[in-house]
Structure 1
């Protein structure tokens, strides 16, 4: 069904918030966490949301479609509540193969409050990811204005060294992802500021987002990462991409 949007500040200026949620066998994963982050973004944007209507729209979408492996998108602005469903672009079963990321020439603005919220101001991420794919990469990494590593275009980054996980802190200029938050609660992850030349120190790298769960990274720019240490770490802690994204905390509504 086509979604019609009212012309408001969301459409005109990007002053809206959205969430993208994995749906497995009809169940939205980490739904409570996504709704909380959406509510916080709307509060910052001073947008009132009819949460009862939003829940009903979510229920209607989930109940009227067969959703074995899909993505649920919630979009809210001053005059709009839109809920859409599409197939999850990441395969449900994946081989343990690493992806290749370039360094984007565009910088993340760590001084902007919009950087830390999932708003409709998402053009940099989409355009730079498309450019990277056109150039033969799988995605791109953003540095901030100080030259510190922030995040991948649509994902958070983690690095492995001698069995210890590292990730850039929020202050580097990144969106605090749902899966990122889950890993920070489950493991003793060290949040450290990193420059591009620090990448050579690590034994492995992976990225996380709500639709893919976890994806190994084989290279960032000129820095390669072996997959074997990461595979051992994930096996030791019984972490699988599917479990991380879909099996750990699925939620249902209604």
Structure 2
């Protein structure tokens, strides 16, 4: 049974009843921004950081948000309280709103806010334990000089096409390269590898999203005195890594078992296990303390 709910036009309703106009520019042109937020123990995790990125993304595309940040916090709290479980996933969307056909945004007089609460399982529990099989997709990440990767926009078409490549290959996830052949990210997650005990991840300037979970992992690495580097990575670095894993709000932490059919030597490896334990402890500490 569908237990998802949605805040729309000032009221909470079942997802099956939620309706928006077919003339919404978010639907017609992907004209909008969004955030995904996990909640644990009825508490949204790192909500302030997510809302700040939402508002930054909106400002970057010239989309005014008429809802103050505290109002957004209050709406999220209403949705979490109305959801049937104490844990779940939120999708917060801000679109340009309803307008005329044609890409000119001046016809859109009022933005649309949508807050969805539902369950999200990106990967099966047994795969999370044994390790995901990754491929490097032929589809490339949009260039940073065309669309800044710090903008979390509604248009995920190239990521969807890369995920289709993973599906066709029988893999669990795909990694996108940029136009220069450097590693950027997964279709819905950031990427880390470990080589000789050093944690490594691509920089945002190569096309990776400035992930909130990504930053938390770097903070946890500092707490654990784990050395890390943010620098450009090539497919060779993935193939020869000791460990590799994915991070994201939806993904949480997922270890990789293979890349393009090449097994990783450690899965899940010691660095991943240490960071995963720290991640769960941080969630429990932050979210239980606010309940």
TM-score range, shorter chain: 0.7 to 0.9
The separation in 2 between residues aligned to 1:171 and 1:106, in whole angstroms, is 18
- Alpha-carbon offset, residue 183 of structure 1: 1.8
Is the 8 Å Cα contact of residues 203 and 226 (structure 1) preserved in structure 2?
yes
- Alpha-carbon offset, residue 126 of structure 1: 2.4
- Alpha-carbon offset, residue 93 of structure 1: 6.5
Matches within 5 A, 1:135-150: 135-150=169-184
The separation in 1 between residues aligned to 2:138 and 2:183, in whole angstroms, is 12
Is the 8 Å Cα contact of residues 34 and 153 (structure 2) preserved in structure 1?
yes
- Alpha-carbon offset, residue 241 of structure 1: 7.9
- Alpha-carbon offset, residue 252 of structure 1: 9.1
Cα distance change of structure 1 residues 103 and 159 upon mapping to structure 2, 3 Å threshold:
same
Is the 8 Å Cα contact of residues 10 and 77 (structure 1) preserved in structure 2?
yes
Q: Residue in 2 aligned with 1:243?
A: 280
Q: Residue in 1 aligned with 2:19?
A: 4
Q: Matched residue pairs, number?
A: 252
Q: Residue in 2 aligned with 1:81?
A: 113
Q: Residue in 1 aligned with 2:78?
A: 60
Matches within 5 A, 1:117-128: 117-128=151-162
Of 123-132 and 41-50, the range deviating more from structure 2: 123-132
Q: Residue in 1 aligned with 2:271?
A: 233
Is the 8 Å Cα contact of residues 27 and 252 (structure 1) preserved in structure 2?
no
Is the 8 Å Cα contact of residues 31 and 154 (structure 2) preserved in structure 1?
yes
Q: Match of 1:243, SS?
A: helix
CA deviations on 1:57-116 (whole Å, 9 max, x unpaired) are 212211112223311110002320000111121479666311001111111123222433
| Structure 1: runs of 5 or more not aligned | none
**RCO comparison, higher one (Cα < 8 Å, 6+):** 1
The separation in 2 between residues aligned to 1:133 and 1:168, in whole angstroms, is 24
Matches within 5 A, 1:100-115: 100-110=133-143, 111-115=145-149
The separation in 2 between residues aligned to 1:170 and 1:186, in whole angstroms, is 19
Is the 8 Å Cα contact of residues 28 and 251 (structure 1) preserved in structure 2?
no
Is the 8 Å Cα contact of residues 199 and 223 (structure 1) preserved in structure 2?
no
The yes-or-no answer on 1:195 pairing with 2:234 is yes
Cα distance change of structure 1 residues 222 and 213 upon mapping to structure 2, 3 Å threshold:
same
The separation in 1 between residues aligned to 2:118 and 2:85, in whole angstroms, is 9
Q: Match of 2:130, SS?
A: coil
Is the 8 Å Cα contact of residues 214 and 244 (structure 1) preserved in structure 2?
no
CA deviations on 1:131-160 (whole Å, 9 max, x unpaired) are 412431101010000011111110111010
Matches within 5 A, 1:109-188: 109-110=142-143, 111-187=145-221, 188=227
Of 87-96 and 124-133, the range deviating more from structure 2: 87-96
Of 31-40 and 118-127, the range deviating more from structure 2: 118-127
CA RMSD of aligned residues (A): 2.6
Q: Residue in 2 aligned with 1:25?
A: 41
The separation in 2 between residues aligned to 1:252 and 1:53, in whole angstroms, is 22
The separation in 2 between residues aligned to 1:112 and 1:174, in whole angstroms, is 14
